[in-house]
Structure 1
């Protein structure tokens, strides 16, 4: 799971157009699978996995199995679609949901398909 999150963070850092979406104050996203919890901080200053999340208040929580969260981070499914199908649980408001869904969708790996003429 950590490898998927590191890829997500690297995509956040490398894609310039995403920097315009990030708030100046850190947006704290918690991802929970079974008994593991990962905290991600997203801001225009820095995007990182937070090692010690004590004292940080999460603005959005995604909870599910490792397979479902990996599927989400890889960009195979939309967050709202997975929530509608009861594959993932979320906790947070509508605006944070839209923000997280946008970040996840825009950081997904782009597969280049060949076109035959």
Structure 2
């Protein structure tokens, strides 16, 4: 969970939560108010597509929550790779002009 907790500093992340091997990242347009990204920015589709391109399979829910349920046989190296690919995906999504417009400065 420590690697996931480090994601809290990312501009798109409003919350991280998890239990055991299940985890979720909540994406927001305003970190203070924890306002979800607007539906018209299509955060779930954009995140899922970028994650897939990065070799990461995640559940990207329409409300801007990313869900993780890796297999129980994952090694520490596997989890590190998932976290690295997640961060890359979030950074790429942040570069998207439609997502940038949705963020509160």
Q: Normalization by structure 1: what TM-score?
A: 0.31
Higher normalized helix content (fraction of residues): 2
Q: Which structure has the larger Rg over C-alpha atoms?
A: 1
Q: Normalization by structure 2: what TM-score?
A: 0.34
